[in-house]
Every structure is written in C-alpha cells, then in structure tokens.
Amino acid sequence: MGEFVNLEVADGIGTIRLDRPKMNALNQQVQEEIRAAAHEASANDDVAAVVVYGGVKVFAAGADIKEMESMTYQQMSARADALSSSLTAVAEIPKPTVAAITGYALGGGFELAMCCDIRIVADDAKVGQPEILLGIIPGAGGTQRLARLVGPSHAKDINFTGRFVDADEALRIGMVNKVVPAGSVYDEAKKWAGQFVGGPALALRAVKAAVDGGLNGDLQSGLKLESHLFAALFATDDQSIGMKSFVENGPGKAKFTGK
C-alpha cells in the first residue's frame, strides 16, 4: 500500500487510485508507487481489468515542478529513464486498462493516461502536453505515444503550443475514446472494465501483446507475431470452451475459466 497510490480490487476490477492533494502531482514517490501498483495489478489473478483514476476533481495535473525545478542535467539524466519506465509499467499491464479522466490530465498526467488502452474523459476536462511552456519537452511518452494516437501533425501542434485541449477536440482527434458527464466518469470506466471479468484472460492478453507489439515494427513482423499468438491460444482451455459453446449454443454464451 502506497502513501499516494493504491490498488483497490473489487468484483474483478482493479482501480489504481492516485490521491496526492491537491492536484495529484507526479513526484518521484508517486511515480514509484504507480510502478508498484501496476506490477501488483499485473500479478493479481483476481484482477481482470484495470481503471486508473485520480478522483472526482483531477486525474493528474502533471509532474511535480517544485521537485524538478532545481534538478541539474546530471540529476535528471540519472532519473529520466526511471520516470518513463514507471509510467510504462502501466502500459505493460497485460490486461485491459482504462484511464478515468476528470479535471485535468496534463503533462505527466496525460502521459500516464496514454499508457492505458483507452481513455474516458469528463465533458469539462482538459488534456495536453504543456511542457514546452517550461522550456522542456515531455519525458515519459508525450511525444511518442501521442504521435501514435493522433498522428504526427496533431502531436506536434499539441507539443509545440502546450495548449490545453478540451474534451470535444480530444475526442475528435483521437486523444480520448469517450466523453461523458463529469459525475459519470468512474462508473463508465468500471462499466468498460467490467466487460472483461470472467472473460478469456489469455486471449485478452494476446490481443494487447499483438497490437502493442505490432506497433513496434513493420506490418510483416506484426502479422508474424499475430499468427504466433493466434496459434498459441489453441493450447488453452478457453479456446476449447469458446468454440464448443459457439457450435452448441451460438456466439457470446461461453463460460470462460481464464486458462
């Protein structure tokens, strides 16, 4: 259990909950607690899917600038990889993940949100990468993951200007997946995550591994990875259960074991 970040598990859904008043600033302690919570969620067989949530007021307004302000090049050079990898631990959770975004998800906050598979955002939320306003660039995925989400042109505009992007534009250009009333964000995220409780856990992992792995290379390499993962699932109980249920009862009625 961390001081500011915890994994809460209920009904098959794990919630990585950030709670560092006032704005969930991501200092080094929070970064490492995020890493620990992500590893715990990955290892916990009771967790089918994960919600990352900052509370009703704010997701995460970014890195802790007071902590970073006095750091030297040598100090940040020694820390930068750990900053990036602490958030990447969320991207590496081998289960469906969703960011439930209220208030602001800026800088490191939106970099954390982009580590999730999808993003559900409040209709009054603001997202963006304002690091340029500090004379720096994003250091935990804000150039790389954003370009993969929205394309290089939008990513450059958002990173060049540092502007805050409202929910409607974020949805239109692909930064987020769904916009809902602010009071419904967490419930909508849990509803999405809840679809996977009792699902074919190994096949869900394979989907994530195929999509994420394929993005790291060319199409042919991605297709080979997909073929390998596809064939491997024929060694699982869920494949037998799913296909037998389809033949006997039609689609969508299988009772999977996650094995």
Give the catalytic positions in this structure. Answer: 111, 131
User: Could you tell me if 113 and 189 are in contact, meaning their C-beta atoms sit under 8 angstroms apart?
Assistant: no
Q: State the Cα–Cα distance between residues 241 and 130, nearest whole angstrom.
A: 49
For residue 215, how many C-alpha atoms fall within 13 Å in the half-sphere facing its CB? 10
Alpha-carbon Rg for the chain, nearest whole angstrom, is 19
Closest of 53, 28, 29 to residue 41, by C-alpha: 53
User: Could you tell me if 53 and 8 are in contact, meaning their C-beta atoms sit under 8 angstroms apart?
Assistant: no
Q: 121 has which bridge partners? A: 101, 179
Closest of 64, 57, 78 to residue 31, by C-alpha: 64
- Counting every residue written for the chain, the total comes to 259
User: CB atoms < 10 A from the CB of 167, how many?
Assistant: 21
- Angle (nearest 5°) at CA 149 between 137 and 145: 40
Contacts of 49 (CB under 8 A, 6+ apart): 12, 13, 14, 95, 96, 97, 98, 192, 193, 194, 195, 196, 197
